[in-house]
Amino acid sequence: MPFILILCLLLSPAAALACGGLFCNARTPVNQAAERILFSKIDDGLEMHVRITYQGPPTEFGWLLPVPRDVEYGLSTDQLFTQLDNQFGPRFNLRTEVDDDCIFDSRNGAEPELFEAGGADTGVQDDGADSVAVLSREAVGPYDLSVLLPTSVDALRDWLDANEYQIPDAADATLAPYVEMGSAFIALKLLPAADSGDVQPLSLRFAGDIPAVPIVPTSVAANPDMGIIVHLLADARGVSTNYRHVAINESTIDWGNRGSNYPDVVSQAVDEAGGQAFVTDFAGAHESAVFLATVSEDALDAIRRIGPSDDGAFLWGRIESILRSELNQNDSDLARIARGVISLPETIDINEFLMRPRRFEGSPSADLIQVDIDALVARLGSEINDVRQGIGALFSRNPYLTRLYSTMSPEEMTVDPVFAWNRDLESQSNVYNAVRRVSCVMGRPDWDNAIIETESGLRFRERDGANPNVIVRQEGETIRQSDVPGASVIEIQMPAGQTQVVTDNRPEISQKLAIGSNTGCACSSANNDQSSGLIWFALLCLWPLHRRVRFQRS
């Protein structure tokens, strides 16, 4: 069915409300997987930018959006939320320190986890066993980046296969010299969100100073544990005045996998608070970390001056070369605009054309490819420059950003969360750090019994090379959990003053995690061997990565 956008006007402007429910037709609700919102103070009220992650065909999308009567609306940009996620989403860093007395020959210090060829991830290294030491793994921009130290090409291949990479059969002989000299490897692939089919966000402006999200109608089309991320941009920390606030129990995080279960931990903590609560991912000065690129007037003039061509692919290639220096190559707004100004014959797929336009230059269909340059310049100005400059002005006027996160299931969506700003609360970082301390048993690292210590002071022992306290949920239900709670503190936040503690689980958590004296050590191994820069250059030249960050078969 065609795209449907319904603006339901509220009877009272007292509260400024964000997105409501999604419906594709009267019988089948659309799968609404997650929702992202930014509220910002403006001189005469509030401005809101909203993005909903949508799973399903675009023709099935429908959006029911309650708004105040005085609403003014326009387009926003996916790039805003991409940068907000990259800059202010939670990050979990685990550093490993191994006892100096251990017999350990890794050239990059201690290894956070090991992967044995032909088997699952393990914390034990058998003498002579082929393995891959995963020295680090973290989200870097749009990438899932891993630093690997393999003992054999076979082990490296097994790890890449297990993590959904593809590598040519003929690669072994080329990779072997680097493995033999003890080289590490960086493996890249795109994060799931970097390739999502998100619908285009909207921006709304209205009177009022009380942000609220009408979550009740959203329950009609929500998934279990649907994610809700609310950004509050002003000059003080944002809080929810009618939902509780939770702090997570950091011992339930999967530190070895960069906190990949963070949404599950939040879901558990929120349930323990009654199903209606937020955790603060970040609160503090944003320091202009969000920068949205625009197209300069010189670039727009250069596009206007491009003469007509019978070869539409050649024409778009010239335009693309101008825009490449202005915008990110994967800019979703540019891709959307291009789809609207390029006309192609039915034999050419628009996505394939945009990926490799020069491939079609001089083809029999080239004269059937048309580019509306006037429409392109107009849309670059209105949908990229105007929108992004306006967002930049919001961040310039409002120096403080708060990012609140929650997950809710349909049965919990009975009260709309309302927000305010509190000048009395402290800032909060989005970076969590912990140290894994590994002691020695008969001269070898005892990976099975390493101790993890968080910056907040929690100490707990791993079991069989993994954190036994990890919480994992599925379809709104906990499927793996120890007997420790997901929330360390449940509290009430108000528009002024300090928080009021409702439940403090920290003594119970510390007692359950008690492990006696620290058997680890606070020492690390230095990297005393640096491979030649020529080797790294050769490796990069031999194995260029595909756009989807997969090794390609020749």
Band (155; pLDDT cuts 50, 70, 90) = confident
Predicted local distance difference test score (pLDDT) of residue 123: 35
Stretch 284-296: mean pLDDT, rounded? Answer: 91
Per-residue pLDDT averaged across 124-140, rounded?
Answer: 62
Least confident of 17-26, 132-141, 315-324: 17-26
Question: Which residues have C-beta within 8 Å of that of residue 103, sequence separation ≥ 6?
Answer: 443, 444
Residue 172 identity: D
Task: Retrieve residue 278's tokens.
Answer: 């937020």
Count the alpha carbons within 13 Å of 373 in the hemisphere toward its beta carbon: 18
More confident residue, 182 or 174: 182
* pLDDT tops 70 at residue 485: yes
Residue 428: pLDDT above 50?
Answer: yes
pLDDT, residue 401, reads: 97
Average pLDDT over all residues of the chain:
77
What's residue 365's pLDDT?
Answer: 84
What is the mean predicted confidence (pLDDT) over 315-322?
A: 90
Instruction: Calculate mean pLDDT across residues 136-156.
Output: 71
- Output 328 or 243, whichever has higher pLDDT: 243
Question: Looking at per-residue confidence, does 81 or 181 come out higher?
Answer: 81
Asked whether 250 and 434 are in contact (CB, 8 A), the reply is yes
Rounded to an integer, what distance in angstroms lies between the CA atom of residue 276 and that of residue 292?
A: 33
pLDDT at 169 over 70: no
User: Is residue 238 within 8 Å of residue 424, measured between CB atoms?
Assistant: no
Please tell me the predicted confidence (pLDDT) of residue 19: 36
Over residues 367-392, mean pLDDT: 93
DSSP 22: B
Q: How confident is the model at residue 134 (pLDDT cuts 50, 70, 90)?
A: confident
Task: Measure the CA–CA gap between 149 and 156, rounded to whole angstroms.
Answer: 8
CA 281 to chain CA mean position, Å: 12
pLDDT digits (tens, 9 = 90+) for 439-457: 888 777 888 889 999 998 9
Q: Is the pLDDT of residue 550 over 80?
A: no
Q: What is the pTM assigned to this prediction?
A: 0.73
Is 536 a residue whose pLDDT tops 70? Answer: no
At 495 the pLDDT is 96
What are the tens digits of pLDDT across the range 25-72?
333 333 345 689 999 999 989 999 988 665 544 444 445 456 676 777
Top pLDDT among 273 and 548 is at 273
Euclidean distance between CA atoms 119 and 366, whole angstroms = 51
pLDDT digits (tens, 9 = 90+) for 320-365: 889 988 998 778 888 888 888 999 998 888 888 888 888 888 888 8
**pLDDT (0 to 100) of residue 114:** 55
pLDDT for res 132: 79
Across 79-83, 500-504, 550-554, least confident range: 550-554
549: pLDDT strictly greater than 60: no
- Tokens linked to 346: 């039915």
The predicted pLDDT at position 514 comes to: 83
Contact call for residues 420 and 241 (beta carbons, < 8 A): yes
| Burial class of residue 207 in the structure, from the number of CB atoms within 10 Å of its CB (0-12 exposed, 13-18 middle, 19+ buried) | middle
Confidence of residue 295 (pLDDT cuts 50, 70, 90): very high
Confidence of residue 406 (pLDDT cuts 50, 70, 90): very high
Contact 408, 228 (CB under 8 A): yes
Give the DSSP H/E element, type plus range, for residue 534.
helix 533-542
Model confidence at 419: pLDDT above 80: yes
- Report whether pLDDT(145) > 80: no
> In this model, does residue 112 exceed pLDDT 60?
no
Lowest-confidence segment of 5-19, 81-95, 125-139, 225-239 by average pLDDT: 5-19
Share of the chain above pLDDT 70, in %: 72
So what's the pLDDT on residue 482?
Answer: 79
